[in-house]
Amino acid sequence: MVKFATFALIFIIAIDFGFALCEGNSWNVKETPFPKVKRVNKTYSYRSARANGNVTIANPYAWLEKPYDSDDDVKQFTIDQQKLTEQYMNKCTNAKSITQSIRNAFDYDDYFDWTYYDTAKEPFYVFSLQRIDENRKTYYIASAKQVEAAKKTNFATPPGHPFFKEDGLSVNGTASLSTFVVSNNGYLIAYLVVEDESDVGTWYVRKTSSPLVNPKTKPPGGEGRLPDTILLGDGALIWKPDDSGFFYTQVSDPKAGTNKDIGSVVRYHQMGTPYEKDITIVHPDSDESNNYSFDLSDNGDWLVVMASGGDGNTRAYASLLKGQTLSDKMKWISIVPTSNYAVSSVAIVDRDWYVQTDHDALNGKVAKYTLDWNSITLVDVIPSRAHTKLIFSIIFASNKVLLFYIEKGKYTIYLHELKTGRKIQQVLPNETYTLKQAYYASAKSTHIVMSLWGATSPKKVLEVDFDGSRATDKMLLIKSIKGTNAQDYITESLEAISRDGTKVPYYIVYHKETQRNGENPTLLHFYGSYGRIENLFYYPPHFSWLHSYRGVLVYAGPRGGSDNGEEWHEAGERLKKQNTFDDIIAVAQDLIKRKIAATGEIIADGISAGGLAAAVVARQAPANTFGAILADVAVLDYFLLARTRAGPFQVEDFGDPYNATDFDVIRSWSPLQNIDPIKQKVFPAILVTPADSDIRVVPAHSFKCIAQMQFSYPTSPNPLLMHLQKDAGHNVIDANQDTAIAKYFHQQCFVQLALGLTKKD
């Protein structure tokens, strides 16, 4: 889970909360009893404001926090759990049909990573392609003429030539390319290789004229690369203007997520020299949670370094490189000396540093600092807008800026003059697809490529061009799922009323033949944290389920997201986190009230922080609200999260368990600590799906939680199961295709059995 976000205890009335017992769910705990799991006498003590003293938290499964890949007892636990899960999966007599429907949802040409290097001497595109049965991407290089020709056939055949095949990076297929940065002259490419979709990897460099296509061997970084190698990179890299070297950030070894010391540094690598001779520009901060980021002016004169801690606020410093030798003793201007607000770089133009910031602007604005050794002043350029959150900003055509907002639960884009802030136009004002990613080569580019998706449509790629006065868009390609028609599905926007009277937005998607008769199985997806939205996006298991069971797919916008601006985010964070859970429950109840969903046949579906929310509403929802829970790479023990690498970055949204006031609120909802068979007689059917190599949300969250559930409900009438994703990390969208399909099969089979559903297609 990424942060890339006096006391009144909220009591949950303990009367008949939970799920309905699902008749005909094929589960029989007498036939398949839960494995016996060792319990130990381990506790933690926390300060409680409510108790006015210390409170002890039991941790009987502390041993399951040991590294999965090196502890035999933990491995045996996962083997026993997977065996139990497979016994249940074997009851899916239509397993082949389920798997095929999921594979069908992957059966399209997934063109991605589109970047147009229009400022190169000979302009070219870089893009990737992944097809069904291909676990890894292949990257291509194509000329503008080749791309234009491919448009005539909707890219039935990829244009250009293969440049880089990810399956050439490792023998077992676990290595992939996380990100890449092409040099200014287009002759070199630095690329970050990670294992199991990790957040940390190794930088390698190769010439763009040296493809990795049909290697005879598979050494780290692939055959034919240059000797330059940078360990423990986290994704930040900028080439010097003359391409003689690059600046980068480096972090400490995550140690499977257990190392809380980020150890972030800023360094410089001169091409052709050993890594050991790299120059450290900025050393690690005293704050273990500190992360550095940086920006370099196009002419290479100014370097700006930003330091952000767990609260997301920023300190910033600038150095004039011209006339100085690169070292850790350079002179710096203190731009933002204290961490009181967030700052991210938009561009450095001449002596002006343009930033995106929430300083005196809750929803975000664009402002600038003039880099002056004598005085620093922040001047507004594009002001904040009410009920609309500024997500990110991209410099465009040298002196323009594209602003990406969240408005009413959707992404919107506006083009402005950078220096004056004047709004030129809204970009893609009538677009019905949801923005997924935007790609651009440099600040001088007059072209930007955008990838979009929809709930029933996996891919649309648009190119936005600026002609000097206006931005226009043209479609590069659009892809659909074979045998389906997106026009057969209807999307509606609705609102539910939460416990405190707040109107909560949500979308429903359903087949045009689906009737509102109160009998529809419904998959309710949500996130509700870090100011993020997860609405109307293409996700193969969602589409497969929607198509196969003719149910209703729902995207909820609970507080904690940014559907209605940063105010909406703040209304669902930290001491107000309960609002997120109340909103999700309100949407579920509204679906039943409107006869959109069947009572007891709503599936709570959440990933990462959304998985946390799914586990919470499993306890808090009134009976007969939900029928099953899918908690994917979920935070299930918040106290464990606070002890791991990701912990400091969650405080703003979820609180600090070492703060007495925060502790009481966290204790009221943290899923593991609220498993209580006395207050909740029956626990819902639940499938947790951790990833074995996840360093953000370590798999011990799911290990401990499922062990405690099975211990507390030894005769459970509903299945309480776990599926462990192998060779997988936290990134569920770009995971290995085989691994992803295996997980989605387990989820769909589980729901079918638990709810007694009939697959219609």
Confirm if 617 and 631 have CB atoms less than 8 A apart: no
pLDDT at 430: 96
State the pLDDT at residue 733: 67
Q: pLDDT-based confidence at 14, cuts 50/70/90?
A: very low
Q: What is the pLDDT of residue 734?
A: 66
What is the model's pLDDT at position 22?
43
Query: 428-449 pLDDT, tens per residue?
Result: 999 999 999 999 999 999 999 9
pLDDT interval class at 2 (50, 70, 90): very low
Q: At what angle do helices 737-755 and 72-89 cross, to 10 degrees?
A: 50
Query: What is the per-residue pLDDT for 69?
Result: 86
Say if CB 632 and CB 702 are below 8 A apart: no
Other C-beta atoms within 10 Å of 276: how many?
A: 5
The predicted structure's pLDDT at residue 120? 92
Residues 682-705, mean pLDDT to the nearest whole number: 97
pLDDT above 60: residue 707 = yes
Mean pLDDT confidence for 242-264: 95
Average pLDDT, the chain: 94
Structure tokens of 211? Answer: 């493809």
Strand segments, DSSP code E, in 38-195 are 43-48, 53-58, 110-117, 124-130, 138-143, 161-165, 175-182, 188-195
d(CA 723, CA 514): 31
Element (H, E) at 149: helix 144-150
Closest CA to 456 of 483, 432, 480, 476: 480
Share of the chain above pLDDT 90, in %: 92
The rounded Cα 570 to chain-centroid distance in angstroms is 19
The reported pTM is 0.94
Residue 583 near residue 498 (C-beta atoms within 8 A): yes
d(CA 39, CA 42): 9
- The pLDDT value recorded for residue 4 is 27
Which pLDDT tens digit goes with each residue over 535-590? Answer: 999 999 999 999 999 999 999 999 999 999 999 999 999 999 999 999 999 999 99
Residues sharing a CB contact under 8 Å with residue 665, sequence separation 6 or more, in sequence order? 7, 9, 10, 574, 575, 577, 578, 655
Closest CA to 389 of 128, 592, 563: 563
pLDDT tens-digit readout, 33-69:
999 999 999 999 999 999 999 999 999 999 999 988 8
Residues in the chain: 761
Q: Is 302 helix (H, G, I), strand (E, B) or coil?
A: strand
How much of the chain exceeds pLDDT 70, in percent? 96
Residue 1 pLDDT > 50? no
Is the pLDDT at 16 greater than 60? The verdict is: no
pLDDT tens-digit map of 206-221: 999 999 999 999 999 9
* DSSP classification of residue 344: E
Between these two residues, 256 and 698, which has the higher pLDDT value? Answer: 698
User: Cβ neighbours of residue 273 under 8 Å, at least 6 residues apart?
Assistant: none
Q: Please tell me the CATH superfamily of domain 71-104+489-654+671-755, with its number.
A: Alpha/Beta hydrolase fold, catalytic domain (3.40.50.1820)
pLDDT single digits (tens) 474-527 = 999 999 998 899 999 999 999 999 999 999 999 999 999 999 999 999 999 999
649-667 pLDDT per residue, tens: 999 999 999 999 999 999 9
681 — pLDDT class (breaks 50, 70, 90): very high
Cα gap 202→231, rounded to integer Å: 5
Mean pLDDT of 74-86: 98
The full set of domain ranges for the chain reads: 71-104+489-654+671-755
pLDDT in tens, 275-303: 999 999 999 999 999 999 999 999 999 99
- Per-residue model confidence (pLDDT) at position 18: 36
Average pLDDT over residues 438-461: 96
